[in-house]
Amino acid sequence: MSTAATLSHSAMSDAEWEARVDLAAVYRLVAYYGWDDVIYNHASMRVPGEPRHFLMKRHELLYTEVTASNLVKVCMDEDLDERAGVNRPGFTLHGGVLAARPDVNCALHVHTATGMAIAGLKHGLRMVSQQAIRFYQRLGYHAYEGLTEDFAERERINRDLGQNRAMIMRNHGLLTVGRTAREAFVLMQHLIEAAEIQLRMEATGAELVEIPPEICAKTARQYEAHDAGRGSADWAAYLRMLDKVDRSYRN
Q: What is the CATH number of the domain that holds 123?
A: 3.40.225.10
Q: Is the pTM of this model over 0.85?
A: yes
Cα dihedral 121→198→63→141 (10° resolution): 40
Is residue 250 assigned to a domain? no
Is residue 113 assigned to a domain? yes
What pLDDT digit, counting tens, does each position of 66-109 carry? 999 999 999 999 988 788 889 999 999 999 999 999 999 999 99
**Whole-number percent of the chain with pLDDT over 90:** 88
Q: Residue 10 contacts by C-beta under 8 Å, 6 or more apart in sequence? A: none
Mean pLDDT of 100-128: 96
Structural domains of the chain, count = 1
Question: Residue 188's domain spans which residues?
Answer: 2-239
User: Which pLDDT band, with edges at 50, 70 and 90, does 231 fall under?
Assistant: confident
What pLDDT digit, counting tens, does each position of 181-223 carry? 999 999 999 999 999 999 999 999 999 999 999 999 999 999 9
